[in-house]
Amino acid sequence: MSELLPVFLDVTSYVLILVLVALGLMIVFGMMGVINMAHGELFMIGAFVMVAAQGAGLPFLAGLVLAPLVVGFLGLLIETALIRHIYHRPLDTILATWGLSIALKQLIVLSFGPESQSVTLPLDGTLTLGAFSYPLYRLVLMAVSAVLIGGTFWLFIRTDFGLMARAVIARPTTAATLGIDTRRMYRWSFVIGTALAGLAGALVAPIISVDPQMGLGYLVPGFLSILVGGAGALAGVLVGGAVVGGVGNLLAVWISPVAALITVYILAILIIRLKPEGILGGRRAK
């Protein structure tokens, strides 16, 4: 049992971060139908904000606050200058955000160099209970991620903002007729989605190698989580993240990373083939 528990906790921490990244994708896709290919790079920039904060001698909490603010502001600029002009042109949004992702990666390379960076762990201890031992920061990471995921669900399910957002998702024309500023809802939903990506990047920075290519490693599983869980339901991200992240990590430990990747893709294809709308397809948060 003491050998399996660390594996289970590692899988749980990965799934929670993956869900946090996928939630940002889901908000943008669900609200605007925009497939944001630069979402992984926004996640990466959040991690590099933490690198810059540490290099400037700022405490870890300061970097944790700065990352979503910086990335959220960048998201506001992207939405204002680019996304709002191509809302209803899916192919154009894919091409535009893909080009943006390349530009953001090159900007990071020019600013920090192509080599990997590292962030010092804010908590260097371990929790030891008998034969069981586990890093404290990973436990904190799981707790913070769970709170953020719960807070996001609360925002979109229990608040007036969430009610208006879901109205715009379900019936944008009717929502506009009832006086909801759909353009404003699009803008702030995009900002929230990008800020979540930046915060996820900052949280995970101390336990992974921070480099300009790191975003792809979360972008693809994030999209798979949405497709597997169902793009029509916010809760679908939880199901999809658990399936994609859980199966992938467990198989990577028990078999091999390559076999795990192949299995996850095959599983995702089978689920999408049998249930094109995803496991929770067609449902919407109420």
8 A C-beta contact, residue 21 and residue 43: yes
pLDDT at 272 over 90: no
Instruction: Note the pLDDT of residue 210.
Output: 92
CA angle 136, 138, 141 (to 5 degrees): 115
pLDDT at 201 over 90: yes
Measure the CA–CA gap between 283 and 257, rounded to whole angstroms: 33
- Per-residue pLDDT band at 282 (split at 50, 70, 90): low
Measure the CA–CA gap between 27 and 195, rounded to whole angstroms: 11
Between 251 and 39, residue with greater pLDDT: 39
Rounded (10°) CA dihedral 241, 192, 188, 69:
-160
Instruction: Note the pLDDT of residue 286.
Output: 39
Strand, coil or helix: 115: coil
Region of poorest pLDDT, from 95-109, 115-129, 140-154: 115-129
Measure the CA–CA gap between 165 and 44, rounded to whole angstroms: 27
Name the burial class of residue 98, with classes exposed (0-12), middle (13-18) and buried (19+) by CB atoms within 10 angstroms of its CB: middle
- Phi and psi at 282, nearest 5°, equal 90, -20
In Å, what is the CA distance from 261 to each residue of 15, 224, 246, 253?
15, 12, 12, 12
Among 58, 89, 44, CA closest to 210:
44
Instruction: Note the pLDDT of residue 30.
Output: 66
Residue 126 forms beta bridges with which residues? 135
What does pTM read for this prediction?
Answer: 0.88
CB atoms within 10 A of CB 222: 31
pLDDT at 276 over 50: yes
What percent of the chain lies above the pLDDT cut of 90?
Answer: 30
Region of poorest pLDDT, from 35-44, 62-71, 248-257, 264-273: 248-257
8 A C-beta contact, residue 14 and residue 245: yes
pLDDT at 20 over 60: yes
Instruction: Note the pLDDT of residue 281.
Output: 67
* DSSP code for 159: S
> Six-digit token pair at 116?
């990997």
CB atoms within 10 A of CB 86: 17
Per-residue buried b or exposed e for 120-147, using 16+ beta carbons within 10 Å of the residue's own CB: eeeeeeeeeeeeeebbebbbebbeebee
In Å, what is the CA distance from 240 to each residue of 116, 184, 201, 264?
30, 29, 20, 11
Amino acid at 185: M
